[in-house]
Chains A and B, each alone.
Chain A
């Protein structure tokens, strides 16, 4: 009752005070985490509705993320294919290895800055971060598990019992809490401290050399229509002309939309931490950054849904770049590596 009264008074204060004073209100809960949007980022899309940031929730999400009990035979965790040192992508593999050694059909994307995104997976299979883990969990060749079964396994673990209770006051241990905690962990995987970030925010350590600066200019001219904002993606789906692997024939966005106009369109990946996330493209078919730029200048495969931005006025496809320009762009791309992110002991 006392608590309720405090809350009531608190609410009154909120209404009566100006926004500046609100910041000065005493922190009521040590478990709270304050969301800090990097100043050079656009607004986040995840709303934290009914899932306010808490240390205990983040910790629960972290434990779940690394727990192989989320798979049918307790061998595959999220972190099996999303490895911190590689910006939560899969250590040089084109396709990841799932349950029973089965091989997937898409390259495991880096997990970073998820709170600023509103559609997930290369084809937009989910538009709700809290539902994202369902896809790999249910996938027959990834984790092949059911949510109720996972919770049955976790309920036997006294540590989880305590963590669910602390995080969500959930003694029953529901899949709702599990998915919320995983979402919370993912929202806090924010990569925003690369050399480039420090450069644009004019912070210490943000010195780009001449080549990197030249690369930045070229990148803005040639790449930023799609790799836009400081998220380095416009979150759209596009066909960038990667050759179709006939053994997979991955139709991309069409799988979700059912529309032919979406054939071979895939989510524009961010180029943050791109030096860590080889191989490249949705199918991991391109090994190095040099190869990626060669692909964009001369390797693009034309098809009816090829993105119009990749068509030149002279009718040719691709982005013309000299080898000098490519070197500069690659030098710039390396400034997007965020060592604070991959070395952060919190993750």
Chain B
């Protein structure tokens, strides 16, 4: 307990130092607690629709395409995490463990990176989908993940590829009748690689050490999937499976959905 208190004191003094100094960064870093060891980093996916918690089977307000969506299913694949620390050092999560699916139905879906080396991380990078390199490595590398994705309807039956995003529900365009929509987005064989990555900046440092195992909130603004960099009007095509024009746009939109929210550093001894 005494030890913890001393850490708290150290942390507080570091914070004070951080806020009081403004010009010389190097001095600040010297005051920072030296972090050693490794620990888990857990991301909690908070899915939102226009800033509110995403609820299935609920009609949302109209998006910029004048379409109201009622979501019944949204799962997707994320992969290839990279964390960048305050000194610019990059930690790449091992590829053989680096593929995850995310289910938006429960609002606290968690993805845990194991044994991340100590550091003050400020940037999080990951991909949406599965890169070709992994795919071409053969079954060695991916069989368990394939089976998992198959179970969650994130694989194509007639194509040996992953659905990076599977998004389903109904929509109302303007005053028209409600109709179904279904988006299965992935890479198109060898022809079109739709895997895309993004880099998120965390306002708070993600502190990892043998004593600190942070919880990171990842906010996912689902409305951006169809209404972001590119506008995807469902009325024009409500069933998007293998679409060389729309699929890459939806993937680009997908990379804009994520932002880092609150970082909670719990003591994980």
Contacts and interface: CB of A to CB of B under 8 A. Distances in A.
A78 to B, nearest CB: 15
A256 B156 CA distance: 10
A75 to B, nearest CB: 19
Contacts of B244: 257-259
The size class of the interface chain B forms with chain A is 20 to 34
Interface string A238-272: 00000000000000010111110010000000000
Contacts of A140: 157
A119 interface: yes
B138 A124 contact: no
Given A50-B138, A176-B139, A257 B188 contact: yes
B191 A148 contact: no
B160 A132 contact: yes
Contacts of B150: 138, 146-147
B157 A130 contact: no
A1 B34 CA distance: 40
Nearest to A123: B189
Given A132-B160, A135-B160, A125 B191 contact: no
A124 B190 contact: yes
Interface in B136-166: 136-140, 143-144, 146-147, 150, 155, 157-160
Contacts of B242: 255-258
Contact of B147 (A119, A130, A175): A175
A174 interface: yes
A257 B191 contact: yes
A130 B157 CA distance: 15
Interface string A170-181: 000011100110
Nearest to B136: A128
Given A51-B138, A128-B135, A128-B138, A258 B192 contact: yes
B192 A257 contact: yes
A134 interface: yes
- Chain A CB within 10 Å, residue with most, of B139, B190, B241: B139
B205 interface: no
B266 to A, nearest CB: 35
The 5 residue pairs across chains A and B that have the minimum distance between CB atoms: A258-B242, A131-B160, A126-B160, A257-B191, A176-B143
7 contacts: A130-B139, A131-B160, A135-B158, A146-B150, A176-B143, A256-B191, A259-B191
Interface of B: 135-140, 143-144, 146-147, 150, 155, 157-160, 188-192, 241-245, 247
